[in-house]
Amino acid sequence: MSKRFNRTPVAMRTYLRESGSSERSLKRQIEGELAWQRYLRRRVEPFVNVGDEEVKSIIDRLQAAKGTDEFNLKEIYLAATPANSQQVYTNAKQILQEIQKGAQPFEYYARQFSEASTRAVGGDLGWIRAATLPGPLSEAATTMQVGQVAGPIEVAGGYSILYLTDKRQVLTADPRDAKLSLKQLTLRFPPNTNQAQASARAQAFAKATQEAPRLRYGREGRGRDRRGRGRQRHGSDPRSAAAAPGSHAEAPGRRIQPAVRLRRAGRPCAGAVRSRRSRWRLAPEFGADPGST
């Protein structure tokens, strides 16, 4: 815990005592939060059952709210009565001043001073739309900037301090998630080049870079066409050579077997055929003379 607040254990104990708390109180608070989480996992979560109709209603609400602003807020709530309202307001202003100093994160003060149920999670309200907030909080949220703390805000039953951590629009892509693919080129100009000459050269370079892909793809397409015509002219099927006049297929008294592999020391390798005399020779489609041995 002391590392989280950038303090040594000794400095953390001193700070807690100065704040009117103690190391024992902080430990009991952490133990209570862990016990509450275990209780929820054992006693509540097994009985949670969300039906299709509930899911559909949530999706419909999101579609209806598409494009509206949504705020990620944290809150410190201090309860007040007419009798102690002024004192609570003064305490809230002091807490706000401590938050603005930046010595501790907002969550620390929420856990220490907030009287709302969100105290256990550092005052986190989650993502929420302005329409679902009480009037004073809704007005404050819509005028705040990300990272800003506002308050004390008078609400029913007390005062609130708000912290806006993020902002987005419902069912709308976040521009911060976009990924850019960039390339950088440097143009060197001769000495004494004026602005007009530099602009003209930059425009010519930009035009050439835009035309280069089209020219390249055009050459590749023509190359594929030429290779295709070459295969049609010479024949791409190896069996066509075996059926040509003067090939092994027409030699009388010979029985040609399919091509097999010929390895070293006189064993089969690619492109070899075997005659009835068990002599090895290259097949005609590999460029050998059918009569050679």
Q: What is the pLDDT of residues 78-118, one digit of tens each?
A: 999 999 999 999 999 999 999 998 888 999 999 999 999 89
| pLDDT confidence of residue 140 | 92
> pLDDT-derived band of residue 27, with 50, 70 and 90 as boundaries?
confident
119, 111 Cβ separation under 8 angstroms = yes
Identify whether residues 78 and 135 lie together within a single domain.
yes
Q: How many domains does the chain have?
A: 3
| pLDDT confidence of residue 109 | 93
> pLDDT-derived band of residue 65, with 50, 70 and 90 as boundaries?
confident
| pLDDT confidence of residue 239 | 46
Match 């005609």 to its residue by tokens: 284
CATH number at 130 reads: 3.10.50.40
| pLDDT confidence of residue 155 | 92
Region 246-255: mean pLDDT is 46
Identify whether residues 72 and 39 lie together within a single domain.
no
- Chain mean pLDDT for the chain: 76
Whole-structure pTM over 0.75, yes or no?
no
Identify whether residues 108 and 156 lie together within a single domain.
yes
| The two three-digit tokens of residue 183, written as one number | 């390339």
Q: Domain range spanning residue 31?
A: 1-43
Identify whether residues 94 and 152 lie together within a single domain.
yes
Region 33-44: mean pLDDT is 87
- Is residue 178 situated within a structural domain? no
- Is residue 281 situated within a structural domain? yes
163, 124 Cβ separation under 8 angstroms = no
* Residue 163, strand partner residues: 74, 149
- Is residue 217 situated within a structural domain? no
pLDDT above 90 as % of the chain = 27
Between these two residues, 9 and 241, which has the higher pLDDT value? Answer: 9
Is the pLDDT assigned to residue 192 strictly greater than 90? no
- Is residue 102 situated within a structural domain? yes
149, 94 Cβ separation under 8 angstroms = no
Is the pLDDT assigned to residue 238 strictly greater than 60? no
| The two three-digit tokens of residue 272, written as one number | 């070899």
pLDDT tens, position by position, 50-64: 778 888 888 888 888
| pLDDT confidence of residue 198 | 85
Is the pLDDT assigned to residue 203 strictly greater than 80? yes
pLDDT tens, position by position, 140-184: 999 999 999 998 999 999 999 999 999 988 878 777 777 777 777
Identify whether residues 75 and 11 lie together within a single domain.
no
| pLDDT confidence of residue 183 | 76
